[in-house]
Structure 1
Amino acid sequence: MTMLKNIGSLMLIASLCSGVAYAEEKPVVGLIMKSLANEFFRDMLEGTKEHEKSRGDYVLKAVGMQNETDFQSQINAVENFITQEVDIIVVAPADSRAMIRPLKKAIEAGIVVINFDVSLDADAKKKQNLELAFVGPDNRSGAKLAGVALANKLGAGGKVVIIEGNPGADNAIERKKGFMDAIEEHDLELLASSTAHWETEEANSVFSNMLTANPDIQGVMAANDSMAIGVIKALEAAGRAKDIQVVAFDNIPAVGPMLADGRLLATVDQFGRDMAANAIEKGLAVHRGGPELSGWIKTDIKLVEASK
């Protein structure tokens, strides 16, 4: 079977048009990720393509957003996958509420749906009478690990700011809670907290303004590595890279050199390269007659600290 691979400004799709007979009746998996401008999801895509190749018993269709606030493209992707009659949808929702109605429609169409990476909102699911398990990490505990690493470096009274992810995303909410847990338990002083929507350039701008307003900042808690990169660029431009500590979340390859030379104090590895592949494994098991998933199926996290 020939696979069409096209990376465009709006989304990346590895697919064939609906209605084509797939070789050996392999189940078709629709993977919906967030922004492919984010290295975390590009790396996830590569890991998933390797998983598809190594298993050889399913067909992957992968879709990504144009940017981290392009919620509509995820909704459109669900609608398209329903029309194409895929067997399984595996989704990392950019917004924990907006995706509930289209995913419920997919389930009603007989598609196995696996929610991974970012949990759907529990209250919104209840209102829609939707039972759907979550496969993913404990974002609050992970963020707290990073926050405690920062607290240990600064000591009580350290002055910090938070760069948040998308306000409507459960993982952004949970990571802020984890940072706040560390702040409160270790007597840090929170000077400011603002979203940069997971984006590097926006984080650069947001943090630059924070630094101008609060030149006594000692530490930064960034809710993902992409935003941490923007923060570090701003610190370097201001000549403050050596006296302000930064922690983050994701452990993408791009921050490896920053951990090695100490520009990034710590990050949290959630093993993103394997995350979608693991969710697909669970979806395939359900599709082939295994038990329905329920509750929260936790995946691993690990604190990664600077070499210096």
Structure 2
Amino acid sequence: MKSVLRQLAVGAVTLLLSSSALAQEPNKVNLGVAIPAATHGFTGGIVWWANQAKKELEKNHPGLKITVKTAANAPEQANQLQDLLTVNKINALVIFPFESASLTKPVAQVKGKGVYVTVVDRGLTDTRAQDAYVAGDNTAFGKLPAEYLAKRLNGKGNIVVLRGIPTTLDNERMDAFNAVLKNHPDIKILDAKYGNWNRDDAFKVMQDYLTRFKQIDAVWAADDDMAVGVLKAIEQSQRTDIKEVFGGAGSKGMVRTIIEGSNKLIQADVSYSPKFIYDAIKLTAEARLKGEKLPANTIIPSVLITKENAKDFYFPDSPF
């Protein structure tokens, strides 16, 4: 009996020492990154910057492991979240949701398992599903183009709009755009349809607008890739009534066009760099390594890009 008690005591001490040693190890962060696949320029930039973050941060932080997963649609991303949780056993997540509403519950389930969640750009419909939010300034993204176009049109004319996909950020942008134009009653928004941040889809939407509306003074494409599709449709139609096409996000192709003055329809843009996924991953990883939390909201400013300041936003080596 004494021998058994002695063995139990020794086992208990060993367990205690092991637990103590484990507690003294540096924090280990197993970070999952869930992002849309590179289906167009902006998400191509997102994927590139996410992998840059993985490479640089894992090199600088031995206690950090980053798993990057890309999804072609919302259901695939929801399934990837379960894999990150059960297979990769993450304890932190940075997600750029494919869509807002359909990803809210899957993200909430991950958070419910004790995972620290940072949501990037496309916000969820219930903020209780996240710990932190990092994004560009979506209000400015809609406000600045509206102010610019109102000035270019001298407060009078017809505008057509191409929205992104149904997300909270797209709603923020559209609401901000509409709020400005409420002060310009002689400017009419003829229609606003989703172009899905896609050149081909935007081309089709713009073809529809050109067929239905005989007088269009300006286009808010709300994305540089969509603006490319819009320009193609306008070129094919040989319409001359359109004075301005305003995209968004400051892609290097559009910024170069502004610098060179090579297309009279492209005179301005608004910054919204995909680098914020890198910033979000870095902020989250380094905070969690220290056992700290991020502020509830981190907003990266958007700036109007014109010929006067375009060189400050031109990065020829960037994928976007």
TM-score normalised by the shorter chain: which range applies?
Answer: 0.7 to 0.9
The unaligned stretches of length 5 or more in structure 2 are 1-25, 311-320
Q: Deviations over 1:186-237 (max 9, x none)?
A: 3421111111122211110011111111120010111222211111111111
- CA distance in 1 between partners of 2:217 and 2:39 (Å): 29
- Quick one: structure 1 residues 232 and 26, their matched pair in 2 at CA, closer, same or farther if it must change by over 3 Å? farther
Match of 1:105 in 2: 109
1:133 Cα deviation after fit: 2.4
- CA distance in 1 between partners of 2:240 and 2:296 (Å): 42
- CA distance in 1 between partners of 2:103 and 2:255 (Å): 33
- CA distance in 2 between partners of 1:161 and 1:152 (Å): 16
Q: Deviations over 1:21-41 (max 9, x none)?
A: xxx996333222224112112
Is this contact kept in 2: 1:179–1:221, CA < 8 A?
no
- CA distance in 2 between partners of 1:159 and 1:306 (Å): 25
1:290 Cα deviation after fit: 3.8
Match of 1:3 in 2: none
Match of 1:64 in 2: 70
Match of 1:76 in 2: 79
Structure with a larger share of its residues in helix = 2
Letter in 1 for 2:122: V
Corresponding pairs, count: 275
Output the TM-score relative to the length of structure 1.
Answer: 0.81
- CA distance in 2 between partners of 1:152 and 1:170 (Å): 27
Letter in 2 for 1:71: A
Letter in 1 for 2:67: K
Query: SS of the counterpart of 2:97?
Result: coil
Is 1:254 the counterpart of 2:256? The answer is no
- Quick one: structure 1 residues 257 and 240, their matched pair in 2 at CA, closer, same or farther if it must change by over 3 Å? farther
Superposed, 1:202-213 pairs within 5 Å as 202-213=201-212
Output the TM-score relative to the length of structure 2.
Answer: 0.78
- Percent of matched pairs sharing the same residue: 21
Letter in 2 for 1:52: K
1:301 Cα deviation after fit: 1.4
Q: Deviations over 1:90-123 (max 9, x none)?
A: 11112212112211221222322110111112xx
- CA distance in 2 between partners of 1:27 and 1:284 (Å): 7
- Quick one: structure 1 residues 166 and 212, their matched pair in 2 at CA, closer, same or farther if it must change by over 3 Å? same
1:72 Cα deviation after fit: 0.7
1:269 Cα deviation after fit: 1.1
Rg comparison, structure with higher value: 2
